Amino acid sequence: MRRATCEEAQCPHYLLGWQTPIDEATGFGQGQARYIRFESGREFKEERNAVGLTVFTFHPGQTCFGRKHYTTLDRDAIFEKLRPGREPVWMFGQDWIDDSGEMFYQIGHLRAQG
């Protein structure tokens, strides 16, 4: 996995926009509002709701605040095959699947023989 942008991760906030309600009656809320207004660099619409909170509505196509997004690497996965008393073997996914299938077949065959 690697870090991804909001666009790469198809973040719902990036795709659809989002709202952030803030209570500016607190020092923390005042700091959040100040950051959004003057430092965030994002486009928004600002209004007060019925309970007196400031609601910032952000347009789609902007990065969200602080969420960490991840995406898969653009290469095949590598698996480690552990064998008691031996060095580990590294395999690509399909090779690991094939090897595991062969091992389970052998186990089943030995079990059937008693």
pLDDT tens per residue, the chain (114 residues)? 788 999 989 999 999 999 999 999 999 999 999 999 999 999 999 999 999 999 999 999 999 998 899 888 777 777 888 888 888 888 887 888 888 888 888 899 888 997
What are the DSSP E strand ranges found in 26-111? 44-48, 54-58, 69-71, 78-81, 89-92
Per-residue exposure over 81-114, b if at least 16 CB sit within 10 Å of its own CB, e if not: eeeeeeeeeebeeeebeeeeeeeeeeeeeeeeee
The pLDDT assigned to 22 comes to 97
Q: Which residues, 6 or more positions from 15, have their beta carbon under 8 angstroms from its beta carbon? A: 60
Q: Look at residue 101 in the predicted model and tell me its pLDDT.
A: 87
- pLDDT, position 5: 93
Reference 79, options 69, 88, 68, 67; nearest CA is: 88
Please state the pTM of the whole predicted model. 0.61
Q: How far apart are CA 21 and CA 11, in angstroms?
A: 19
